[in-house]
Structure 1
Amino acid sequence: MLQSRSERIAGVFIYIILSFITLLVLYPLFFVLIASISAPETVMRGEVWLWPKELSFVGYERLFANSDLMRGFMNTLLYTTTGTALNVLMTIAAAYPLSRADFNGRGIFTAIIVFTMFFSGGMIPNYLLVKELGMLDTIWAIIIPSAVSVWNIIIMRTFFQSSIPKEMQEAAFIDGASNMRVLWRIVLPLSGPILAVMVLFYAVGHWNSYFSALIYLSDRANYPMQLFLREILVQGQMQEMVDISDDSLARSLMDAEAIKYAAVIVTNLPMLLLYPFLQKYFVKGVMIGAIKG
C-alpha cells in the first residue's frame, strides 16, 4: 500500500519515540555490564558512560570466591528446577479438567480457586501452617506454598479451551482413549507455546524469590542466592568478601562497588539467556490466549 506523506512522517516519528524508549530501558542494564568490568575507581569518578575503562574483573573474582554465594547459587538452581517442574505439573492438573465442558461443577471449582487469588490467610497463618507441617528450613517451605498460581491456571485453561480442537479430543474418546491419554497424546503436544510461557513465568518467579526464604529459612546452608545478594546489595555486608585489614578503606569501598555491579549481572544473566529460546513460544502463547479467551 502506498502511504501518504503525513503517514510516513507519523511512522518515522513513532520509530524515533520507540527507539528512545528502548534506549532508556536498555541503558541501565548496559551500564551495569560495563561498570562490572571497569576499574572501580573509574566508575566512582563517573568516567564510565558508554564503554568500559581500564578492564578489571575484581568484582567477579571477589564474588565467585565467596563460598556462601556459590552454595546459594546451587540452592537457587535446585529450587528453580524442582519448583518449576512441580508448578507446571500442578497447573496442568488443574487447568485441564476446568477446560472440559463435560466436567460437572467446573464453575464452582473455578469460583473457589479464583476466590483464593483475592483473599488469603496472610503471612502469619501461612507461617504457622508451614511450621505445623514441619517444613521450616527445608526445600519444601520454598516450593509447596507456591506450588500453583491461580492466574496461570486461568491462562492455561483459556488456552486449552480456545486452541485445542475439541473434534480431535472427541475423536480420541470415540476410539477408546482415556482422559489421561488424551491429555498426554493430544493436548500437551499441541500446547508447546503455553507450556513455554508457564516455564518462563514460574522459573523467573523462583529465581528472583527471596521473601519466602527470608521467612521460612534460618539455616544459611539452605539460603538461595537472592538472600546472599540481598545482604550484598541492600544491607552492605561485605566483610566476608572485602578484607579491610589488607587494603585501604577507599580500596575496599571501590571493591564493594565492583561486587555490587557483578552481583546484578550474575543474578540476571541466567534468565536473560533463557528468554531468547522461549521468546517465540512466549509471544504466541500469550497472544492466542488473549485473543480467543
Structure 2
Amino acid sequence: MQATIRKSNKVRRSKGDVIFDTVVYIITGLMILIAIYPMYFILIASISDPALVSSGEIVLVPNGFNLRAYEKLAEFDDIWTGYRNTILYVIGGTAITLAVNIPASFALSRKQLFGKRALMAMYLIPMFFTGGLIPTYMVVKAVNLVDNPLVMILPFSVASYYIIVGRTFFQNTIPEELWEAAQLDGCGQVRYFFIVALPLSKAVLAVIALWSAVGQWNGYFNALIYLRSPEFQPIQIALRNILINNQMMGMTQIGAAAVEARQLAELIKYASIVVSSLPIMLLYPFVQKYFNNGIMLGSVKG
C-alpha cells in the first residue's frame, strides 16, 4: 500500500524536462571545466618535464614527473622572507581593517548620529572618484611611510565598501529594540557596541575579515609602488622578481643552455602561481559559507 502511494505521489517528468535538465547539466559541467582546467594545467605543468610542457604534450596528466621548479624556488631566500611578510601583512592589515571599519559602520547605522548624510557622502565619493596615484604617493611620502612595512597596513585600511556592508548589516539585522532595552539599563552607545552589537555581528566580522585577508594576500601593487627594500617585499613581489631574473638569465645564454634555461624559467612560472595561490585555495573550502553569506550582507532586505 505504501509503495503504491509513493509511486502515485511521484511527479512524472516530461521528455522536455529531461532534455532541459540534460542541457543544464552539460552547460554547468563545461563551465566548471573551463574554470578548473587552467589551474589544473598549471599544477600538472609545474611537476612535468619542461621540454614536454614547452612542446605542448602536457594536456591532462603530468609526464616526466620532477620537482625541479619547486626545488629552484626553495633556493631563493626571498621566498621565505616574502611568505613571512605576507603573513604579517595579512594579520596586521585584517586586524586594522576591522578596527577602523566596523566602528564606522556601527556609527553610520545609528539614527542619532549628527551629520549622518554628509558623513555617508564622504565615504561614498571615494568609491567613484579618487585622487589618483601621484597625490596618494605624495601623501604617503609626507607621512614617512614610503619603504616602510606599515604602508601595507595603515593607509589603505579604510574601505568604503566594507563600511557600507557593515552599516547595512547593523541596520537590518540587529533590532532597534535591543538598543531601547540597553538604554533602560543605563547603557551608552560605546558600551552597547562592545557588549551587545559586536557579539551579534560575527557574520559580518568574518566576511570583512576574509575579504581583507584575501585582498592582502593577493595584493602587490602597493608594495610595487611604495616598498623598495627586499626585506619588506610580500610573496607576490618576491615571486615576480624571481621570474624576471630567470627570464633574463635565459636571454643571456646561447645554444642548448639557453633553451634549457627558458624551459626552466617557464616551469618556475607555473610553480610560482601554485606557491602563491595554494594557501588561499586550501583555506577557501573551510570559509566558503562565509563568502556565500557575504554576498547577501550588503543587500537591501524587505
Which residue, 33, 37, 43 being the options, matches 1:23?
Answer: 33
* Inter-partner Cα distance in structure 2 for 1:174 and 1:73: 51
TM-score of the superposed pair, with normalisation by structure 1: 0.91
Q: How does 1:85-234 map to 2 (within 5 A)?
A: 85-233=95-243
Whole-angstrom distance in 2 between the partners of 1:210 and 1:195: 24
CA contact (8 A) 2:45 2:53 kept: yes
Q: Whole-Å Cα distance in 2 between the matches of residues 176 and 11 of structure 1?
A: 59
Paired residues of 1:194 and 1:282 also in contact (CA < 8 A): no
Match for 1:146: what amino acid? F
TM-score (norm 2): 0.88
Q: 1:137, CA displacement in angstroms?
A: 0.8
Q: Is the 8 A contact 1:35 1:48 kept in 2?
A: yes
Deviation per CA, 1:34-83: give whole Å up to 9, x if none: 11111212211222111111211111111111011221121111111111
Q: SS where residue 144 of structure 1 aligns?
A: coil
| SS of corresponding position for 2:299 | helix
**What amino acid is the match of 1:6?**
G
Q: Which moved more, 1:264-273 or 1:118-127?
A: 118-127
Q: Which amino acid aligns with 1:238?
A: N
Higher relative contact order (CA 8 A, sep 6+): 1
Q: How far 1:241 moved relative to its partner?
A: 9.1
Deviations 1:131-155 (A, max 9, x none): 1111111112222221111011111
Cα distance in 2, alignment partners of residues 80 and 213 from structure 1: 13
1:60 aligns with 2:70: yes
Extract unaligned runs of 5+ from structure 2. 1-9
Q: Give the match for residue 80 of structure 1.
A: 90
- 1:17 alignment partner AA: I
Amino acid at match of 1:225: I
Per-residue CA deviations over 1:158-183 (Å, capped at 9, x if unaligned) read 11111122222322222222323322
User: For residues 203 and 26 of structure 2, what CA distance do their matches in structure 1 show?
Assistant: 32
**In 2, Cα distance between equivalents of 1:268 and 1:170:** 47
Aligned-residue offset at 1:230 = 2.2
Question: Equivalent residue for 1:237?
Answer: 245
Distance 2:76 2:247 in 1: 11
Letter of the 1:237 counterpart:
N
- CA distance 1:4–1:193, change in 2 (3 Å): farther
* Percent pairwise identity: 42
Aligned partners of 1:17, 1:219: CA distance in 2, in Å?
49
Asked if the contact 1:238/1:256 (under 8 Å) is kept, the reply is yes
CA deviation after TM superposition for structure 1 residue 239, in Å: 7.3
| Segment drifting more, 269-278 vs 170-179 | 170-179
Distance 1:60 1:48 in 2: 18
Q: Structure 1 residues 260-269 or 48-57, which shifts more?
A: 48-57
Contact 1:79 1:206 in 2 (8 A): yes
> 2:168–2:300: 8 Å Cα contact kept in structure 1?
no
Q: Which residue does the alignment assign to 2:4? A: none
* Equivalent residue letter for 1:199: A
